Structures are given as C-alpha cells and as structure tokens.
Amino acid sequence: MFVGTVLHLGKDERDQLTVEAMSTEAVATSEIEGEILDRASVQSSLRKQLGIATGERRVRPAERGIAEMMVDLYRSFAEPLSEETLFRWHRMVMSGSRSLRDVGRYRTGTEPMQVVSGSVHEPKVHFEAPPWSRVPSEMKRLFAWFVQTAPVGQKALPALTRAGIAHLYFESIHPFEDGNGRIGRAIAEKALAQSLGQPTLTAFAATILARRKSYYEALEAANKENEVTRWLMCFAGVALEAQRQTIALVEFLIDKTKLLDRLKGQLNARQEKALLRMFREGPEGFKGGLSAGKYSTVTGASPATTTRDLADLVEKGALIREGERRYARYRLSIPLRPVPHGEVYERGETAPKTVA
C-alpha cells in the first residue's frame, strides 16, 4: 500500500516526503535522548546533502551531524554493518561534542557503563553494559550475526524479528560512550530496509518518542533476561504504528498537491505563504488552528487585510472556518489524519541516562 501510494507523487512531492520523513526521524531520535534540535535547520541540511537545494543557512553541528547520519543510512542501507559504518555514524552524531573522550571509536576506561535514572543521591541502575575490554569481541559477534540473519543469509530471520533483535543486541553491548540510542535505532532501520530491499522512510523514532515509557521498560526487561518475546511484541507494535503514520503523511501530501493545483493562480503571495506554513505542520494539522493573529504574524498583513484574505480563502474552499469573531479558527479543507499514539511519557518523568 505504501509503495503504491508514493507512486502517485511527483518528484517534488517525493523529495518533500523524503525530507519530511528523515527530518522527523532525526529530530525525534535526538529528542528521545533529551536533545532538542531545530527542525528547520535539520531540513536545510538534509536538502543540501540530498542535492535538493543549496542554501547557505547556518546550521549547528548537532543538526548537521544527525542529518548526515540519516542521509548516510538512506544511501548505504544495503551495505554490511561494520565498524567503519558505526564509527562514521558516531562521528556524525557526536559532531560538535566537546565532552567525550572517545568519538568515532568504541568506549574505553575502567568505569562501568550504566543506564541510570533518578536523583544523583539515589540513582536507579537499569542496566550495566559489558566492560570496555569485551566490546570489540562482542561487536564482531553482532556483525557476524547481522550477516547470517540477512534476507539472503544462512539463518535468515523475518524482517521485524531481525530488526528488533539487532536493536536489542546493540543496546546490550552499549559500545559507545554516548549516542548508543540513536545509532541503535539506525541499525534497526537498516535491518528493515535490507529486508524490504529499499530505504525505509517510516516514522520509527517518532513513534518510539510517543510511547517511550513502554519502550524503555521493554528494553530494560529484555536486557536482564534471555526471553525477548515482550520486547519483540513492543518493537513490532512500534514498527506497524510507524508505517501507519508514514502512510498518513503520504496521503496528506497527495491531498496538499491536489488543493494547491486547484488554487493555482488564484492566491496572493500572503495567502500562499500562510497555506504553506499550515502544510508544514503535517497530517495532524496546525496546533490550535489558524487564528487571525497567527495569520498576521506569518504574513505581516494588517488586521483589515487579514480579514479579507481569510474570508477569500474560505470562499475558495482552501480553509474551513470554525467559531466566530475573535474565537474563529481556520483549518485546511483536506482530511486530517491524526494517528493514535502509544503511551506518552508521564509529566515529570525523565528518560534513563547513560553514565560511564
């Protein structure tokens, strides 16, 4: 269904889908680890690296680095998993970091590598990784297993099973001083892409972000025992929900194209700018709806001009008005497709942190 839907998109829309999907993953996989990135900067970096645009927007190392890893994953999905690949990804993900001693190589040092949460005075240890001296040999076993379980390998596994175990396997080793979560999720994406025979553009990390409490609980439980059924069920649920979100995004882009084609030549520059701003919010819509104040902020229009522009957009069928006077809000006249998410992290909770 996904591939068939994408075929309805033109080149510009496929490029937009690629950038939207990759930037969503880049921002979400970083936010899972507590790092908030600027989405516009990530998208600018992605467009430049994909050859879609050549802007000179100033991009921080963090945004550029995660974008580089996403593009590298997209282009090299079929290549074997190797130290060279992971060290390259680590240098990208840790771009601009000044606090790590081991960048682009496995962790070193005698301190235990632990995943903890809670206060400094009463930390809760969720997991302790193997000592640094065992990391190289454990990673060699992972690389060999990844080859054996590939679609054409001697011990081929179903796509979701292989991707889920690969992610868990890597996180259990925790080979890097930092960045293990982001790289582990990239490995899972790589495994899924190899099974499909093409790059994946699913909202995998974004789905994990929405249900990270159950994600962390299942990952922690699987790290403490040999039984991985619960983990694989959790992982499969994430992967299937991510696919639904991605299909919703593709259908949204198709609706967007149809609406803009119908309105071509009928809108002024302000109206076009406002609509494109609303479309950037994706399938779930503009948060809180578009108010006259927001329209004025986006376009710079005066109150009187704003009133005329919005009324014209409603008359042309571009927007639907809800409410009256100062309570009036406007939404795009295309179907919104909110995708139900899993468990959201409860207010006040924090994700487990990795310490060495």
Q: Convert 84-101 to b/e letters by CB count within 10 Å (16 or more is b).
A: ebbbbbbbbbbbeeeeee
Which is it for the CA torsion 196, 199, 203, 209, positive or negative?
Answer: positive
We report the CATH number of the domain holding residue 30 as 1.10.3290.10
What pTM was computed for the model? 0.79
Q: What value does the mean pLDDT of the chain take?
A: 87
pLDDT value, residue 22: 92
Specify the CATH number for the domain of residue 292: 1.10.10.10
Are residues 154 and 271 located together in one domain of the fold?
Answer: no
- Gap between the Cα atoms of 130 and 153, Å rounded: 28
Residue 209 to residue 278: CA distance in whole angstroms: 23
Q: Which residue has the higher pLDDT, 318 or 3?
A: 318
**Residue 179 sits in which domain range?**
2-248+341-355
Residue 101 and residue 108 in contact, taking contact as beta carbons nearer than 8 Å? yes
What tens digit of pLDDT does each residue of 314-326 get?
A: 999 999 999 988 8
Q: Are residues 90 and 148 in the same domain?
A: yes
227 and 288 belong to one structural domain: no
Q: Do residues 327 and 346 both lie within one domain?
A: no
Judgement on whether residues 23 and 102 belong to the same structural domain of the protein: yes
Tell me: do 301 and 347 sit in the same domain: no
**Domain assignment present for 27:** yes
Write out 301-342 in H/E/C secondary structure.
Answer: CCHHHHHHHHHHHHHCCCEEEECCHHHCEEEECCCCCCCCCC
Query: Does any domain span residue 258?
Result: no
Residue 272 resides in a domain: yes
Amino acid in position 75: R
Considering the domain boundaries, does residue 33 fall inside one?
yes
Residue 354 has pLDDT above 80, yes or no: no
232 and 269: one domain?
no
Q: Is residue 120 part of a domain?
A: yes
Q: Is residue 102 part of a domain?
A: yes
Distance from C-alpha of 218 to C-alpha of 212, rounded to nearest angstrom: 10
Residues 287 and 175 in one domain: no
What is the DSSP secondary-structure string of 15-61?
HHHHHHHHHHHHHHHHHHTT----HHHHHHHHHHHHTS--------H
Is residue 291 in some structural domain? Answer: yes
- Residue 255 in domain: no
Tens of pLDDT, residues 99-125:
898 999 999 988 877 777 777 677 777
Q: What is the mean pLDDT of residues 234-248?
A: 89
Overall domain count for the chain: 2
Residue 294 shares a structural domain with residue 179: no
pLDDT tens figures, 57-94 = 788 999 999 999 999 999 999 999 999 999 999 999 99
207 lies in the same domain as 272: no
Q: What is the pLDDT of residues 180-224, one digit of tens each?
A: 999 999 999 999 999 999 988 888 998 999 888 889 889 989 988
Residues 316 and 244 in one domain: no
Query: What pLDDT is recorded for position 9?
Result: 67
pLDDT at position 264 is 92
